[in-house]
Structure 1
Amino acid sequence: MLEQIRRRLAENNCDVFISTYKTHRRYLTKFTGSAGLVWIGHDTNILIVDFRYTEQAAEQSPGWEIVKQESTLTETLQSLIEKYGVKRIAFESEFITVDQLNHWQRNFEVEFVPTKNWVAQLRMVKTDEEIEKITKAVEIADQALQELIPTIKPGMKEIELALELEYTMRRLGAEAIAFDPIVGSGPRGALPHAVPGERQFTRGDFIVIDMGCVYQGYCSDMTRTLIVGKPTDKHLEIYNLVLEAQLAALAAIKPGLTGKQVDSAARDIIASAGYGDNFGHSLGHAVGLEIHEEPRLSQLDEETLVPGMVVTVEPGVYLPGWGGVRIEDLVVVTETGCKILTQTSKEMVIIE
């Protein structure tokens, strides 16, 4: 990956690429500390950290020169700029504030060149090691939900289930939750990102559960929709429609298609059934060190899928005042299609 950054430097006539963004710092160096700056030159790769992290950085980032920050980061950067005769510095414009850039421009007699997506594009295709960690995060979430489904009963509160989801994933080996669990029941299931509240599960409710955890830095993401009590014809109609759309999208995924084309595979089915206006979000997104990454499976995304990308497939139908259904798997794009990582059944689960 360093050679790809260096190619970009040459193409843009820059001497150094710097990054302060935590996720990119971890991706490039494997350093997990909360502060530091990555410096990549044509023949240098340096990780600047302060006193708190020198030992940790040396352990986690073999192959990187660890530079201990002087009294300020500005002084340390100035020393490196002078040492290597730097004239043009490429920086990540989407992660540097105007105030920070102004500070650098006042203090350094160099040209700062804005860049975007140099590292994000590298992160789109996962290594085997990354996929192994994502798979483990998926397994933890799968197991947690399977353990908890038998405990879900009418009268249980959304917030109680959300708490149990978080605790169970942590107990099973997750280092953190990937995002606050979404639990929306009954009419609140029509909120795609419902915040769990005090509402109690009631017969006739769909319960939308969206959950994920972090394992060794990498995220998982899964949604299942349960029904409390015997489903009505409308429950079956909406659930089966979303499931049909999800299965169609899974079958469509293969290298060479764009995110837009895969999105259409699910969206067209839902629209043909008359619920197009009730599916208002994209079909999916990539997952990795962050829960939302590129590429997206959306009506606008023209990025071509390639093997090694890890994406969610999560169509939904949301009916205000009634409820909603979303079904989500995490998949890896393969040479011939996709491999579904999520193993929790998609058959309708009835809570008695």
Structure 2
Amino acid sequence: MEKVTRLREKFDSLGIDGMLITNGQNRRYLTNFTGTYGVVLISRDQAKLFTDFRYTSQAQAQATGFEIVYLPTKESVYSEVARQAEAMGINHLGFEEENVSFALHRKYSEVVQTAFIPTSGVIEGLRMMKTKEELAIIRTAAQIADAAFSHITSFLRPGITELAVSNELEMFMRKEGASGSAFDIIIASGYRSALPHGVASEKTIDAGDMVTMDFGALYQGYRSDITRTVAVGTPDERLKAIYEIVLEARNRAVAGIRPGITGKEADAFARDYITEHGYGERFGHGMGHGVGLDIHEEPFMSTRCTAVLQEGMILTVEPGIYIPELGGVRIEDDLVVTESGNEVLTHSSRELIIL
């Protein structure tokens, strides 16, 4: 219940004495409940998980420390939350404004008699700093991704499709213990490697193509995220030079990331180097982001990020350069911020591999 305690510590500053959690990943974070339906109600001294017949036994087994409230129908959640909130003595009930639609807000407001207080990013803020248990899980997810990269380099060859590479990666990761891919796998070859989010297509990989592979493992609900760009045959000399720029930008970011700096400062370690080499306009996304239960979590390291990096954050570092009609290069690693710096969790070769 450490996570619940950390949430309760924020009640006073939020002006609430209870919190309604409707976001699925936030529900899982607080309760360890992996079912697909349920809401959570937390007061200063009680914690309840509401779910239906399909998940009551599962909730009892997984949500240690939570009282399980049975819902006979999904529609009964509104009246039951209202009844329980009153019984728990909640007078100012916080809710997750990003996850509550106008219709959902209206349904709760019609029955909840307490003040309904919007909050933003409260639990997401807690999720930024990982526990030792979360780090151990993500470390395993990173190891699976590393193994998958090692495997796929022997699979890549001219004549196969991007989709075949994607399918092979996911199948391998599942064999290694993953429950699936962390997100839609990006396989972008040749001119398509200039697409930062070029998900796998039916395009055939040709000799001389640079192939950008962005993938990760979903393991026990948590995710890894790695990108490597390799050459299938001899690549264009311009892309070989760009590769070295991206690699050095990645190295500078990793060398500089430590507690106490802002996401903007972390972004600049890579962005400034790329800009110095004339490709600033071709690096159009943030330098990295948090990763955990979701593939993209706070903090989002960009030119606008004022969040301060803290020990326990797990981040990606992913500089890239993308040239339309020519191709692109991205190199991405996962790392955990430590007391004095960081530890890289993904260890696949970062030198340009020519197959």
Is the TM-score greater than 0.5?
A: yes
2:61 to 59, 62, 71: 59
Give the match for residue 178 of structure 1: 182
Give the match for residue 216 of structure 2: 212
Q: Give the deviation of 1:2 after TM superposition.
A: 2.0
2:232 to 204, 228, 231: 228
1:309 pairs with 2:313 = yes
1:287 pairs with 2:278 = no
Q: Give the deviation of 1:202 after TM superposition.
A: 1.4
Supply the distance in 2 between the matched residues of 1:128 and 1:82 (Cα, whole angstroms).
36
Supply the distance in 2 between the matched residues of 1:219 and 1:151 (Cα, whole angstroms).
24
- Do 1:70 and 1:76's aligned partners in 2 also have CA atoms closer than 8 Å? no
Give the match for residue 116 of structure 1: 120
User: Could you say what secondary structure the match of 2:147 adopts?
Assistant: helix
Q: Give the deviation of 1:46 after TM superposition.
A: 0.8
1:161 to 161, 165, 169: 165
1:320 pairs with 2:321 = no
Give the match for residue 243 of structure 1: 247
1:23 to 22, 25, 32: 25
Q: Give the deviation of 1:14 after TM superposition.
A: 2.3
Supply the distance in 2 between the matched residues of 1:28 and 1:44 (Cα, whole angstroms).
13
1:89 to 82, 90, 93: 93
Supply the distance in 2 between the matched residues of 1:81 and 1:318 (Cα, whole angstroms).
52
1:44 pairs with 2:46 = yes
* Aligned residue type for 2:46: T
Aligned residues with identical type, % of pairs: 43
1:69 pairs with 2:71 = yes
User: Could you say what secondary structure the match of 2:153 adopts?
Assistant: helix
Supply the distance in 1 between the matched residues of 2:41 and 2:167 (Cα, whole angstroms).
41
How many residue pairs are counted as aligned between the two chains?
351
Gapped regions of structure 2 (runs ≥ 5): none
* Aligned residue type for 1:202: D
TM-score of the pair, normalised by structure 2: 0.96
Q: Give the deviation of 1:212 after TM superposition.
A: 0.6
Supply the distance in 2 between the matched residues of 1:169 and 1:145 (Cα, whole angstroms).
10
Q: Give the deviation of 1:121 after TM superposition.
A: 0.8
Aligned-residue CA RMSD in angstroms? 1.2
2:302 to 288, 298, 304: 298
Supply the distance in 2 between the matched residues of 1:4 and 1:83 (Cα, whole angstroms).
23
Supply the distance in 2 between the matched residues of 1:8 and 1:334 (Cα, whole angstroms).
24
Give the match for residue 353 of structure 2: 349
Q: Give the deviation of 1:70 after TM superposition.
A: 4.1
Supply the distance in 1 between the matched residues of 2:152 and 2:14 (Cα, whole angstroms).
53
Supply the distance in 1 between the matched residues of 2:108 and 2:314 (Cα, whole angstroms).
36
Supply the distance in 1 between the matched residues of 2:284 and 2:86 (Cα, whole angstroms).
52
Deviations 1:91-120 (A, max 9, x none): 000111110001111222222100011101
- Do 1:182 and 1:195's aligned partners in 2 also have CA atoms closer than 8 Å? yes
User: Could you say what secondary structure the match of 1:346 adopts?
Assistant: coil
Supply the distance in 2 between the matched residues of 1:237 and 1:117 (Cα, whole angstroms).
41
* Aligned residue type for 1:205: D
Q: 1:104 to 1:318 in 2, by over 3 A?
A: same
Supply the distance in 2 between the matched residues of 1:256 and 1:84 (Cα, whole angstroms).
39
Q: Give the deviation of 1:68 after TM superposition.
A: 1.1
Supply the distance in 2 between the matched residues of 1:230 and 1:82 (Cα, whole angstroms).
69
Deviations 1:35-65 (A, max 9, x none): 1111110111111111111111111011111
